């Protein structure tokens, strides 16, 4: 069985000599907001079209502001309300329903993502996709956010 041992040796030599890897984080595609519906009691349903099949995909972050520009370009990208999805939840290019609700109620049937937040009618909302960014040099990780989605006015 020299052949399998030879392949293992070649593989180990390749790994040891591989220095060509990217240090640039992958940029996730932003979702597209289709509509928002007020369900009463500070509960809203957002219809979203998204496609993020990359392995680094983690979920979404919602931003709300009194102007369209501030919703799309907040001063701190870490301040939005987020919805993290399980790794098994690979997002395919279809429409999804997200629920925005400050209560701890269980998801409504058909809801893909629940965001525990309060949003104000008349304000603008925007979503960004979260991707996992790993720094191999110092073994740290953080979330990298996508460019902003379009905005919708909260009814």
Q: What is the pTM of this model?
A: 0.77
Of the listed ranges 11-25, 58-72, 75-89, the one predicted with least confidence: 11-25
Express each pLDDT in 69-112 by its tens digit.
999 999 999 899 998 775 545 556 778 899 999 988 887 888 88
Q: What digits encode the pLDDT tens for the residues 110-154? A: 888 889 999 999 999 999 988 877 666 676 667 788 899 999 999
DSSP 17: H
DSSP code, position 109: T
- Hey, what's the torsion of the CAs at 36, 80, 65, 43, to 10 degrees? 40
Q: What is the pLDDT of residue 151?
A: 97
CATH code of the domain occupying 31-153: 2.60.40
Q: Could you tell me which of 65, 66, 25, 29 has the C-alpha nearest to residue 48? A: 29
């Amino acid at each position: 069985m020299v052949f399998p041992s030879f392949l293992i040796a070649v593989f180990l030599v390749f790994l040891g000599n591989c220095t060509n890897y990217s240090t640039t984080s992958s940029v996730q595609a932003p979702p597209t907001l289709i509509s928002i519906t007020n369900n009463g009691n500070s509960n809203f349903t957002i219809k979203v079209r998204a496609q993020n099949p990359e392995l680094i995909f983690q979920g979404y972050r919602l931003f709300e502001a009194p102007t369209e520009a501030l919703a799309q370009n907040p001063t701190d990208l870490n301040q939005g309300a987020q919805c993290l999805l399980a790794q098994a939840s690979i997002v395919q290019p279809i429409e999804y329903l997200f629920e925005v609700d400050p209560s701890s109620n269980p998801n409504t049937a058909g809801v893909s993502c629940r965001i525990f937040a309060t949003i104000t009618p008349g304000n603008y909302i925007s979503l960004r996709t979260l991707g996992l960014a790993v720094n191999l040099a110092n073994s740290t990780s953080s979330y990298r956010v996508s460019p902003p989605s379009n905005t919708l006015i909260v009814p």
